[in-house]
Structure 1
Amino acid sequence: MRRPRMGGLMRLAQVYLSLGVTAAEIKQFTKEEEMAFIALHGKRISRMIAYTLCRGWWSRHFLVGFTAWWVRNWMEKEYLEAAMHNFIMLLGTDPFTSIIRSAEKMNPMKLRLKLSQKIKGS
């Protein structure tokens, strides 16, 4: 299970946000709340796990449904719980902060002091 590419990450985030709970709330669930959560959102959870397994464009579009079905029917409970907690870590924006920082530095409208000529009076 690895971090999905951007398209898969966007779909994974959409499914996660549709659940309506935060990671902190999930960690504090009682057994009854866990069972109710799984009964209500089980298919979405298996789909999120499938997005972390199907990372490519073709597999994301054609195999996610089958993979989600396989996860629901054949994956053991311990692995499901571990995957559930791990995918929350995959949703972070940490890899994109360096891209945003470099985009800020490359802003063509911003004056670059080291590269620009010194202003001289006429």
Structure 2
Amino acid sequence: MSELISRAAELDAADELAGLREKFVLDDAVYLDGNSLGALPAAVPGRVDDVVRRQWGSLRIRSWDESGWWTAPERIGDRIAPLVGAAAGQVVVGDSTSVNVFKALVGAVRLAGAGAGADAGADAG
């Protein structure tokens, strides 16, 4: 058994990805869940705090420009583009297709309802 432990320690020491462990909030357990959010990146709590307190709390509406909210879909798309074989400017990040279809349907129903109400009022007079 000690040979296995020694070999595992050697492999761990030579692993070029070993330094990435520090970028996540991890305990000393083995975590084998491939259908989850995964481990929390260590930078996320500070980033969320910045968004909530400074960008939303202090800058408020100015964050659309000053924090880059307005250009986020394109900027993030440019970073994702190489993963799907696309060039910069060819990918935009948005809601899921299901969310976008839902928003379109809600908008259509509201427009239809507003139109029906306006027509009904015009006919009544």
Fold similarity call, TM over 0.5? no
Larger radius of gyration: 2
TM-score by length of 1: 0.27
Q: Which structure exhibits the higher relative contact order, with contacts defined as CA atoms closer than 8 Å and separated by 6 or more residues? A: 1
- TM-score normalised to structure 2 length: 0.26
